[in-house]
Amino acid sequence: MKSGVAEALVAALCCAGVANMSAQPEEGRAASTVSVYQSLAADAIVQLCSQLQPPDSLRVLIAVEPSGTYWFIEEAISRALRERKIQPVPDGGDWRLECGVKDAHVQYSNVRREGLLGARVVDRTTALALWLRVSDRQPARFLLDQEWRSQRTDTINVSDVDHVEHPGVAATHAVVPSEGFFTSWLEPLILVGAIGVAVFLLFTTRS
Confidence at residue 9, expressed as pLDDT on a 0 to 100 scale: 46
Count of Cβ atoms closer than 10 Å to residue 186 Cβ: 11
**C-alpha–C-alpha distance, residues 126 and 105, integer Å:** 6
pLDDT digits (tens, 9 = 90+) for 102-151: 999 999 999 998 876 678 999 999 999 999 999 998 777 899 999 999 99
Confidence at residue 192, expressed as pLDDT on a 0 to 100 scale: 65
pLDDT band at 88 (very low <50, low <70, confident <90, very high): very high
Write down the domain spans for the chain: 2-206
**C-alpha–C-alpha distance, residues 74 and 67, integer Å:** 10
Confidence at residue 32, expressed as pLDDT on a 0 to 100 scale: 98
pLDDT digits (tens, 9 = 90+) for 15-67: 444 434 333 344 578 999 999 999 999 999 999 999 999 998 999 999 999 99
- 68-99 b/e (C-beta count within 10 Å ≥ 16 → b): eebebbbebbbebbeeeebebeeeebbbbbeb
Helix, strand, coil shares, percent, the chain, to 5: 45, 30, 25
Instruction: Find residue 7's DSSP bridge partners.
Output: none
- What is the share, in percent, of the chain residues with pLDDT greater than 70? 72
Please tell me whether the peptide bond between 54 and the residue prior to it is cis, using omega within 30 degrees of 0.
Answer: no
**C-alpha–C-alpha distance, residues 15 and 9, integer Å:** 10
